[in-house]
Amino acid sequence: MSINPANQSIKVIGTNGQISLGKAFAGRQVIVEECEPGVWLIRAAVVIPENELWLHQPKAKRDLGDALDWASKNKPQASAPSTLISKLEHAKTTRKHR
């Protein structure tokens, strides 16, 4: 990794242990690595919540891609939700009486 002097700046770590990288980076998540004492590497990162991690697994990504592809090729059609609800309620009642 080469260092470009034009991209260097001097920052002061405040008494609370914080350093400001500037408003351009406000709200961003970063990974801070201490390479050796007094040497830190700060890299922008994207953090994925654990409960959404499954979406990034190969099969889920493929299935979602297939679904989006299907949706782009099949226009929405008018439907009658009340008819569907009636059918579901009828099926539920029929199963209870068996």
In a domain, residue 53? The reply is yes
**Is residue 97 in a domain?**
no
Angle CA 32–35–1, to nearest 5: 90
Tell me the per-residue pLDDT of 59-96, one tens digit each, with 9 for 90 and over: 999 999 999 999 999 999 888 899 889 999 988 887 77
Q: What is the pLDDT at residue 95?
A: 73
Domain hosting residue 47, numbered range: 1-76
Q: What is the pTM of this model?
A: 0.49
The structural domain count of the chain equals 1
Considering the domain boundaries, does residue 62 fall inside one? yes
User: How confident is the model over 35-69, as pLDDT tens digits?
Assistant: 999 999 999 999 999 999 998 899 999 999 999 99
